[in-house]
Structure 1
Amino acid sequence: MGKKVTLDANGVYYRQLNEQIREAVRNGADEIELLNVRGQRYIGNAIDKPVRFTVNGVPGQDMAAFMRGAFIRVEGNAQDGVANTMDDGQIEINGMAGDVLGYGMRGGRVMVKQDVGYRVGIHMKAYMDKSPVIVAGGKAGDFLGEYMAGGAIILLGMDSTMPVETPITGRSLGTGMHGGVIYIRGDVPEYQLGPGLSFHPLEDEDIAFIRKHVEDWASAFGKDADEVMAGTFRKVQPFSKRPYGNMYVGTN
């Protein structure tokens, strides 16, 4: 039988809260519930055991940075920097997430019910046999997938708090992207693509990949996967293996 620990974060400074979390993990806890979280930073950082966290409230910046194998469910919104350089594990955010979600992420999966901020997936990369995935149910700010080198981002544009007329994704989509793939449900004007990118036709394996993650997202947040899959998806990737090669090496 697993060991569950409940910690009340009300009025607790982030350093003390994280020490309480580390102590609970050292003492064999495999389930940790945090109550009254109000902006405490670094929750779940570098946890390398399959601990299940439930975070009630709004965690602060850099939640799950360098995490390797834990599961975190946030019942609320999350601030900036979630999953910074995350190596493995899963995060579910039952709300919105802020900027630079998944910075340098190299494994695991993050699922967000609603909108995400700016520069989501920046520098995301595949690492050895790992390939990170971000699924967001709402809309995204500018520079989605900036400098992306691997992994996948799936943006659904459905469960959004933004005005209806707000584009699904902001400006400069995938600027500097040279690997990985971005799938967007809905229409994206070509002028929003960053330099070196283009739309690609969906293959059967793309549809199977999207469906797998959409089904998990729908299960996590009480949505209808078939309704999501009934929409039209666009696939965004660099137009070549070296989309910026001619910027550094002269061509004839």
Structure 2
Amino acid sequence: MAEKNITISGTDLSTRKINQEIKKGLSENEKNFYIENSQKLDSIVVGLREESNFKLKGEFGDFVGALNHGARIEISGKTGRYVGNNMTHGEIIINGSADDGVGFGTYNGTIVVKGNAGNSIGQLNKGGTIVIDGNIGNLAGLYMLSGEIIVTGNAGEDTGDWMIGGTIYVGGDFQTGTNAEVKTLESSDKKKLQNIFQTYGIDAPVDSFKKIEHQEIRPFYG
């Protein structure tokens, strides 16, 4: 039997109603959902713990895919702030731009933005992979502990500010922050970038990237 697609139109529905429709479908073991035109509503497809597939089309608000733990969410359109906030597992792909705070506090999983994003990308990242195929603003990777942030374009000021762990790769221009240091790109870094770019259909010259890591493991203690 072919899998059924659940279509939810957000034109006349509230955030609560949309998420109720999703919960109902998941309780009936449905796995594929299509959501369109959600009026820039916040907190759509949040807290998902099931392995499921979501395709969203339109312009969405803040916290799309927050607390995701297993779903694959693909968005065609723009999103607001804090996409994938505190995500622990799964995949979020945005075919468009995103606002501030992409992947804030992410524990695991992958977020890919095929467009520009705002400030504060990957702040407090604890192990996720965040890829921006475009330019970003300031303070990317602030206080990050682990994981990767990959930016194919330019980054703003204070990139990696007070970072404690993890790695930031930038293909364009940037300015590092406190406790961030530019280091030599190794063959393992190039292989990692190549694999990620191939997986997500990103065309970027690996050799142009620079790697940013922390200087001191305990930067707050001098």
Query: Normalising to structure 2: TM-score of the pair?
Result: 0.95
In 2: Cα distance, 1:66 partner to 1:230 partner: 31
Q: How big is the shift at 1:193?
A: 0.9
Q: How big is the shift at 1:231?
A: 4.7
Which letter does structure 2 place at the counterpart of 1:173? T
Give the match for residue 74 of structure 2: 73
Which of 130, 134, 157 lines up with 1:134 in the alignment?
130
Which letter does structure 2 place at the counterpart of 1:244? F
Work out the number of aligned pairs and report it: 221
Give the match for residue 200 of structure 1: 183
CA contact (8 A) 1:135 1:217 kept: no
Within a 5 Å distance, the mapping from 1:25-40 to structure 2 comes to 25-40=26-41
Q: RMSD across aligned C-alpha pairs, in angstroms?
A: 1.3
In 1: Cα distance, 2:120 partner to 2:12 partner: 31
Residue 162 of structure 2 is aligned to residue 176 of structure 1: yes
In 1: Cα distance, 2:189 partner to 2:218 partner: 22
Give the match for residue 249 of structure 1: none
The verdict on how the C-alpha distance between 1:88 and 1:135 changes in structure 2, with shifts beyond 3 A counting, is same
In 1: Cα distance, 2:20 partner to 2:207 partner: 45
CA contact (8 A) 1:3 1:28 kept: no
In 1: Cα distance, 2:210 partner to 2:218 partner: 21
Q: How big is the shift at 1:11?
A: 2.1
Give the match for residue 149 of structure 1: 145
In 1: Cα distance, 2:31 partner to 2:74 partner: 14
Which letter does structure 2 place at the counterpart of 1:211? Q
Q: Deviations over 1:83-135 (max 9, x none)?
A: 01000000110000111111110010000101111101011103xxxxx1011
Give the match for residue 60 of structure 2: 59
Which of 230, 233, 243 lines up with 2:209 in the alignment?
233
Residue identity (%):
28
Q: How big is the shift at 1:172?
A: 1.2
CA contact (8 A) 1:144 1:172 kept: yes
In 2: Cα distance, 1:208 partner to 1:85 partner: 27
Q: How big is the shift at 1:245?
A: 2.6
Q: How big is the shift at 1:230?
A: 5.2
CA contact (8 A) 1:196 1:244 kept: no
Which letter does structure 2 place at the counterpart of 1:146? L
Q: Which structure 2 segments of 5+ residues have no match?
A: none
Q: How big is the shift at 1:244?
A: 3.2
Query: Normalising to structure 1: TM-score of the pair?
Result: 0.84
Which letter does structure 2 place at the counterpart of 1:197? A
In 2: Cα distance, 1:116 partner to 1:81 partner: 11
Q: Which aligned runs of 4 or more in structure 1 are off by greater than 4 angstroms? A: none
Q: Which structure 1 segments of 5+ residues have no match?
A: 127-131, 158-167, 247-252
Give the match for residue 196 of structure 2: 213
CA contact (8 A) 1:42 1:60 kept: yes
Which letter does structure 2 place at the counterpart of 1:135? V
Greater Cα radius of gyration, structure 1 or 2: 1
Which letter does structure 2 place at the counterpart of 1:237? E
Q: How big is the shift at 1:195?
A: 1.0
Give the match for residue 19 of structure 1: 20
In 1: Cα distance, 2:212 partner to 2:189 partner: 12
